[in-house]
């Protein structure tokens, strides 16, 4: 009977997935002495499969001649079959470990199949020795981030079985132009341009004068920000954006400002869509990873935001 999906560990324990480095993952794998545990960790980190898919793997899913793993449609979340290329070393280990007489690749002395809890405990157990306490989600994100350094977005989408990559909306150049020409004051203009530069609302709320040089924004926007601060006689550690009552700006207020633009211009826009636009522009550049870095965005933004479609 297929194991039930466990959503208890669906969230990552690592706030920044880029902290799960290749050095950390390789170090953890090198210290695992149990062959089964080592293979579980390697498959999660080097193929991006989910724990549900892992516990349903069979000997027949592997083509040891071509080093290809086929993830059957009946065990994937989106019911779509996909193939993943394996390196020769990993494929050789799987071949030596695998037993074609068993129903599943991984089993225990008491059961023909591992449980999701066992997989999660295996990951946590071996990563805790490095004070990391990783989850299977962390290893999946690690695979995606590493893959994007060598593969295209569509290739990673296919190998990782990501279905939601084509649902993030962004603005067309005409819409950006129309929004920029909409009537708004200087503060609203700066907030709009910061969001369009990929800066999150929560970061704009805490934006101080001395942060201008810390964020990767254009020179022209930096100059406008400094001019804005100078006119208001703000000190280096002062927040740039305050309300009329001199209180701290909130993310709710930022949303209201963008909502006002939406009503004026008649264009569907939100802080998230503006952030998506920054990433979409980066993705269309010759060197997406470099472009994201220049925007101050992490490589993980490829996965967290996925692919993009223009506003309808």
Q: What is the pLDDT of residues 33-66, one digit of tens each?
A: 999 999 999 999 999 999 999 999 999 999 999 9
CA atoms within a 13 Å half-sphere pointing along the CA-CB vector of 37? 16
Q: Is residue 7 part of a domain?
A: no
Q: Is residue 3 part of a domain?
A: no
State the CATH number of the domain containing residue 95. Answer: 1.10.443.10
Q: Is residue 4 part of a domain?
A: no
Alpha-carbon distance of 28 to 142, in angstroms, equals 14
Closest CA to 32 of 129, 117, 106: 129
* Same domain membership, residue 173 and residue 159: no
DSSP assignment, residue 168?
E
pLDDT at residue 164, as a whole number: 54
Q: With 60 as the cut, is the pLDDT of residue 304 above it?
A: no
Pick from 139, 163, 187: which residue ends a domain?
163
* Same domain membership, residue 86 and residue 202: no
* Same domain membership, residue 295 and residue 179: yes
81: phi then psi, degrees, rounded to nearest 5: -70, 145
Alpha-carbon distance of 139 to 46, in angstroms, equals 8
Q: How many domains does the chain have?
A: 2
When pLDDT is averaged across residues 189-199 and rounded to a whole number, the result is 92
Taking the whole predicted model, whether its pTM rises above 0.75 is answered as no
- State the pLDDT confidence band at 243, using cuts at 50, 70 and 90: confident
State the CATH number of the domain containing residue 211. Answer: 1.10.443
* Same domain membership, residue 221 and residue 120: no
- Tell me the residue range of the domain where 48 lies: 17-163
* Same domain membership, residue 139 and residue 206: no
* Same domain membership, residue 77 and residue 174: no
């Amino acid at each position: 009977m297929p194991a039930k999906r466990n959503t208890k560990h669906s969230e990552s324990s690592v706030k920044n997935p880029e902290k799960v480095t290749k050095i950390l993952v390789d170090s953890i794998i090198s210290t695992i002495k149990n062959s089964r545990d080592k293979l579980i960790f390697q498959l999660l980190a080097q193929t991006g499969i989910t724990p549900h898919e892992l516990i349903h793997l069979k000997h027949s899913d592997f083509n040891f001649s071509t080093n290809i793993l086929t993830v059957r449609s009946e065990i994937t979340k989106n019911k779509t079959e996909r193939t993943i290329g394996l390196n020769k070393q990993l494929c050789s280990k799987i071949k030596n470990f695998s037993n074609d007489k068993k129903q599943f690749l991984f089993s225990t002395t008491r059961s023909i199949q591992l449980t999701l809890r066992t997989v999660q405990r295996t990951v946590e157990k071996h990563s805790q020795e490095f004070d990391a306490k990783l989850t299977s989600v962390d290893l999946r994100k690690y695979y995606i981030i590493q893959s994007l350094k060598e593969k295209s977005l569509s290739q990673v989408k296919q190998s990782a079985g990501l279905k939601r990559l084509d649902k993030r909306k962004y603005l067309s150049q005409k819409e950006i132009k129309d929004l920029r020409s909409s009537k708004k004051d200087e503060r609203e203009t700066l907030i709009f341009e910061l969001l369009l530069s990929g800066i999150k609302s929560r970061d704009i709320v805490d934006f101080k004068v001395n942060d201008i040089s810390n964020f990767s924004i254009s020179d022209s926007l930096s100059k406008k920000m400094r001019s804005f601060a100078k006119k208001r006689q703000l000190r280096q550690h002062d927040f740039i954006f305050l309300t009329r009552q001199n209180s701290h700006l909130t993310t709710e207020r930022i949303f209201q400002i963008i909502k006002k633009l939406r009503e004026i211009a008649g264009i569907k826009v939100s802080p998230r869509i503006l952030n998506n636009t920054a990433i979409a522009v980066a993705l269309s550049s010759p060197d997406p990873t470099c472009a994201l870095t220049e925007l101050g965005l992490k490589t993980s933004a490829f996965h967290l935001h996925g692919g993009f479609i223009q506003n309808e």
